Chain A
Amino acid sequence: MSASNPYIPIPVQISKIINEVDTNDIKTFRFTFLNKEDEKKFKYLPGQFAELSIYGKGESPIGIASSPTNSGYVEFTVQRAGTIVPGLVTSALHDLDEGAQIGLRGPLGNSWPIEYLTKKNIVVVGGGFAFTTLRSLINYMLHKDNRARFGEITVIYGARTPGLLLYKDELAAWEKRKDIKSIITVDKGDESWRGREGFVPAVCKDVAPSPKNAVAVICGPPIMIKFTLPVFFELSFSQENILTSLEMRMKCGIGKCGRCNVGSKYVCTDGPIFSLADLDGLPRDF
């Protein structure tokens, strides 16, 4: 039945848990599929998300953090939610150990428009915890089979403190590569921090990526987005060439339950990726 029923999750197993940050509330979970045919069907592109499902707790929509080029597993980076509303699923997930089984429903939503990005220079701007699907995109583009399809890749990634940067090993690896320009910044460094300090919008201004044949992919907390967009407008990026990922409360993930709409678009099926030009036609209701 699960093959035809979009509400029934497929079983996956936690094969690895990586503690990402020094506050211990963000972990990356690597899942392997219990059934081989499920793995074959789970074809996704960077930017898509899936519903992590724990019976008795509920479901939670999380962006896929691994790249489709990583075969055999899929990764999600999850923050333990719950300062205001207790995040039942995310806390339960954080309490699980390697080897535990959970449900997975997906892949859902649209992806970063790979076709559109092909042959373009890509400027990836990320802030804090929202870096997950961007990491998926970067790893996808950096894969040896894909790298040639894209132009220059610039990554500007910031977090509040060095301890809060995600995927530290990968960040270090990118620094060493020649085919990606990676700029990592923190709001406030500590004694061991040798990198940049400063807010993401200021760093963007400083780096001033050229809008020529370029697309900016921006993901981060609302306040970062608010101050970063003007920078890119100033650099004369057009609305079509600024992409972002939206967040809304979701339940079904397949455009049926009716809660994640922004105007006539459902974030779960028409999004979560929108260009600013798409959003311009929609009411400001998010």
Chain B
Amino acid sequence: MADFKKIEENLKKEAKRLLEAGEVTVVLAYSKGFDEKHPMPYAAKSVADIKNIVFNEYCNHNMARYLVRYPQGTKIAVAVKAADSRAVIQLIQEEKVKRENLVLLGIPVYGMKNSKTGEVIDSKTTSGLCNPVLYDILLGAEVHGQKIVSPYEVLAEYEAMDKDARWEFWKNQLDKCIRCYACRKACPMCYCDPCFIDQSKPRWADKAPQSPGNMMYHLTRFHHLAGRCIDCGECSRACPVDIPLYLFHKKVAKECEEMFGQAAGMKLEDKPVLVDFRVEDSDKILE
């Protein structure tokens, strides 16, 4: 396990320095929740707030989600784990935030746990990465020598399924959806206003949680996140009825990576794959 206490100390130290020096107006990190297992995303705005900052193995939330909530130009320091840093890169690519307004407090970490189930989530999400892809200050020693799980390994079981069985699987899963929209709200890449599903003209789907509407909402959302999903897994953890949305997003990410040779949020200079093209893209991808 990573040294969470050490990271927490460093986080507080850096937050204090940045706020005192006036380099940033807000530090996005974590604070204590109603119990140990439930830390909360936290916005520290003054030195007095810093004592509330915590970091432990349940701090899964992707703090990049909150970046777009602040007006453009706000100087923000944000605590980023591996997947979160990819989200930041992706947001920079999409010109939602500017690199110069951000101070990235990188957190190299492994052994994070899901607070609902207690299971270690490394293998399921976070793309097998432990170290942030982009950071200004690293809050702990880089992780090396961890057993790297291929990010797409969990997919094998589902890819091997017969298509009818897979249809049954997804239909059953998506039928559970209660349309609380926690998935899109927890997602750092879902920032459309209004979301296509809330539009009344055209109305893409029923408002009631029924099979066709749920299917429309989720399939389209998978599509909208194609080449943008950075595999943090927040959508699945946010879901009150535990729909494994991350699986579908992973599959789409995998296909995009194979077809377009680029994973989401890895390089600042990349363009999101679906707002980009190569003349030499092969027609094979359509087969």
Task: Show the binding face of A for B, using Cβ within 8 Å.
Answer: 85-86, 88
Contact = CB atoms under 8 A, between A and B. Distances in A.
A88 B200 CA distance: 8
B144 interface: no
A85 B193 CA distance: 12
5 shortest interchain CB distances as A-B pairs: A86-B201, A86-B200, A88-B200, A85-B200, A88-B201
A88 B201 CA distance: 8
Interface string B196-233: 00001100000000000000000000000000000000
Nearest to A87: B200
B203 to A, nearest CB: 9
Contacts of B201: 86, 88
Contacts of A88: 200-201
Contacts of A85: 200
Interface residues of B, number: 2
Nearest to A86: B201
Contacts of B200: 85-86, 88
B194 to A, nearest CB: 9
Nearest to B202: A86
A174 B176 CA distance: 62
A86 B203 CA distance: 11
A86 B194 CA distance: 13
B206 to A, nearest CB: 13
A85 B200 CA distance: 8
A285 B200 CA distance: 25
A231 B201 CA distance: 42
5 contacts: A85-B200, A86-B200, A86-B201, A88-B200, A88-B201
Interface in B145-200: 200
A85 B199 CA distance: 8
A85 B201 CA distance: 9
Nearest to B199: A86
A229 to B, nearest CB: 31
Nearest to A57: B200
Nearest to B198: A85
A86 B200 CA distance: 7
Nearest to A88: B200
Nearest to B201: A86
A119 B201 CA distance: 50
A262 B200 CA distance: 25
B130 to A, nearest CB: 46
A57 to B, nearest CB: 10
Nearest to B203: A88
B160 to A, nearest CB: 45
Nearest to A58: B200
Nearest to A82: B201
Interface in B70-98: none
Contacts of A86: 200-201
A258 B200 CA distance: 21
B199 to A, nearest CB: 8
B107 to A, nearest CB: 39
A88 B202 CA distance: 11
A89 to B, nearest CB: 10
Nearest to B194: A85
A67 to B, nearest CB: 33
B241 to A, nearest CB: 24
Nearest to A91: B201
Nearest to A85: B200
A250 B142 CA distance: 55
A276 B201 CA distance: 37
B207 to A, nearest CB: 11
B229 to A, nearest CB: 30
